[in-house]
Structure 1
Amino acid sequence: MSRDIITQYFEAFNAKDVPGMLECLSEDVAHHVNEGNVRIGREAFAAFCEHMSRCYDETLTELVVFAAEDGARGAAEYMVNGTYLATDEGLPEAHRQGYRLPAGSFFSLSGGKISRVVTYYNLSDWIRQVS
């Protein structure tokens, strides 16, 4: 069950289907962003996705999903294949640079929904690739 909802979440991501991603999340989801503050709730998650869509075009490949036996936690490892579309505040200027970097996400699950998403990638590696 937890592996299924995590896989559904990433399929929605790759389809650029934000409503589909939101459907996988609990109302009070805690979104721990790499190098950022924790955002609470679907509305905050949707705003984050809107910002990301404006600045980045990303597809995830080489996805491997892991799930705890009790279904309460899961994780995924993948490659981010992206194009930097618009300059993001505090980061290098965007010129449609391509990038590829490994990343991972960790999940808590409750009631058949994702209640916590933690995402990690190496920001220094990304900056090197787009600079």
Structure 2
Amino acid sequence: MNKELIEKYIEAYNSKNVPGMIALLEDDVLFENVSNASEGITTHTKVEFERLAVQSLAYFSERKQTIRFITESQNSIAIEIDYQATFAADFPDPTKAGQQLNLRGVSVFEIKKGKITRISDYS
């Protein structure tokens, strides 16, 4: 059951379906993005997460997470992903519209009562 929940989340993410993503989250969901390349991002509620998710839609004209490996325990799932995206706009750093982003990462999801309570993305 938990595996299907995460697959639905990834499917909603890939199709830029923010309401579909939000529907799978607990109200006090913790989201953290930990990256070697930039400062991390943390949100503490579904409302904050939704705001971040909507804001990020403008960053990429295309984006896709592909699950490489998935491991499941009773209340958590870890997935290794390949992430590919195309930037939609120029950024203050050297990043330009049309530039490709390719990386591999790990996401850890905690789940309680059929809802995602925590998402930790590492890249």
If the length of structure 1 is used for normalisation, what is the TM-score? 0.81
Q: 79-88 or 20-29, which moves further after superposition?
A: 79-88
Identity of aligned residues (%): 27
CA RMSD of aligned residues (A): 1.7
Matched, 1:84 2:84: no
- Alpha-carbon distance in 2 for matches of 1:10, 1:42: 17
Does the 8 Å CA contact 1:7/1:65 hold for their aligned counterparts?
no
How many residues were matched structurally?
118
Structure 2, unmatched stretches of 5+, are none
- Detail structure 1 runs of 4+ shifted over 4 Å in the superposition: none
Task: Select which of 112, 115, 120 maps to 1:113.
Answer: 115
Specify the SS of the correspondent of 1:33.
strand
If the length of structure 2 is used for normalisation, what is the TM-score? 0.86
Higher share in helix: 1
Specify the SS of the correspondent of 1:46.
helix
The CA deviation at 1:87 is: 4.0
- Alpha-carbon distance in 2 for matches of 1:79, 1:32: 18
Structure 1, unmatched stretches of 5+, are 122-131
- 1:26-67 deviations in whole A, cap 9, x for unaligned? 011000122324201111111111121111231112443321
Matched, 1:55 2:54: no
Matched, 1:39 2:43: yes
